[in-house]
A and B are shown apart, each in its own frame.
Chain A
Amino acid sequence: MLHFERWKIIAIALVCLAGIIFAMPNLFSKQTVEGWPSWMPHSQLSLGLDLRGGAHLLLSMDTIELEKDWLLTLRGDVRKQLRDAKIGFTGLGIVGNSVQVRIAKPEQTERAYAELKKMIQPLGNVILGSSGEDIEVVQAGPDALTVRPTSQGMRQRLTSAASASVETVRRRVDSLGTTEPTIVRQGEDRILVQVPGFDDTRALKDVIGQTAKLTFHALHPRITGEEAKQTRVPLNYKIYPSDESEGSGDYLLQERPIVSGEDLVDAQPGFDQRTNEPIITFRFNQSGARKFGRFTKDNVGSPFAIVLDNKVLSAPVIREAILGGSGQISGSFTVESANSLAIQLRSGALPTKLTIIEERTVGPSLGADSIEAGEFAVLVGTVAVAGFMIFAYGLFGLFAVIAVLINLTLILAVMTLMGSTLTLPGIAGLVLTVGMAVDANVLIYERIREELRTGKTAISAVEGGFTKAFVTILDSNLTTLIAAIVMFWLGAGPIRGFAVTLSLGIFGTIFTAFTVTRLLAALWIAAQKTRKIPAPI
Chain B
Amino acid sequence: MFKGVDFFPHGTKIPVMEWRRFCVSISLIATLLAIALLSTKGLNFGIDFKGGSLFEIQTKSGNVDIADLRSRLGELGLGEVQIQGLDEATDALIRVEQQEGGEVAQQAAADKVQDALGEEIEIRRVEVVGPAVSGELQQAGIIAVAVAMIGILLYIWFRFEWQFGIAAILALVHDIVITVGLFSLLGFDFGLSEVAALLTLAGYSINDSVVVFDRIRENLRRYKKLPLADLLNLSINEMLSRTVITSTTTFLAVFALYVFGTEVIRGFSFAMLFGILIGTWSSIFIASPFLLWVGVKRDWSGAVAKSGTAAGRA
Contacts and interface: CB of A to CB of B under 8 A. Distances in A.
A483 B153 CA distance: 11
B262 interface: yes
B15 interface: no
Contacts of B204: 436, 480
B128 A359 contact: yes
Contacts of B206: 476, 479-480, 483
A101 B268 CA distance: 60
A361 B152 contact: no
Contacts of A88: none
Interface stretch (B33-41, B61-69, B240-248): B240-248
A453 B10 CA distance: 10
B251 A435 contact: yes
A446 B129 contact: no
Given A381-B257, A472-B211, A392 B5 contact: yes
A494 B192 contact: yes
Contact of A467 (B104, B249, B310): B310
B186 interface: no
Given A357-B133, A358-B130, A202 B111 contact: yes
Given A201-B126, A432-B250, A446 B192 contact: no
B262 A479 contact: no
Interface in B1-48: 1-7, 10
A443 B35 CA distance: 35
Interface in B222-258: 238-239, 241-242, 245-246, 248-257
A40 interface: no
Interface stretch (A144-152, A230-238, A293-301, A423-431): A423-431
A450 B309 CA distance: 19
Contacts of A93: none
Contacts of A477: 207
Contacts of A333: none
B144 interface: yes
A537 B128 contact: no
B251 A482 contact: no
A385 B193 CA distance: 24
Contacts of A450: 10, 238
B97 interface: no
A438 B253 CA distance: 11
B214 interface: yes
B56 interface: yes
Interface residues of B, number: 84
A426 to B, nearest CB: 11
A390 B4 contact: yes
B253 A384 contact: yes
A41 interface: no
Nearest to A472: B214
A479 B203 contact: yes
Interface stretch (A168-176, A340-348, A366-374): A366-374
Interface of B: 1-7, 10, 56, 58, 103-104, 107, 110-111, 114, 122-130, 132-133, 137, 140, 143-144, 147-148, 151-152, 155-156, 159, 192-193, 195-196, 199-200, 202-204, 206-208, 210-211, 214-215, 238-239, 241-242, 245-246, 248-257, 259-262, 264-265, 268-269, 272, 307, 309-311, 313
Interface of A: 50, 58, 60, 201-202, 205, 355-363, 365-366, 369-370, 373-374, 376-378, 380-382, 384-385, 388-397, 424-425, 428, 431-432, 434-436, 438-439, 442-443, 446, 449-450, 453, 467-468, 470-472, 475-487, 489-492, 494-495, 498-499, 502, 534-537
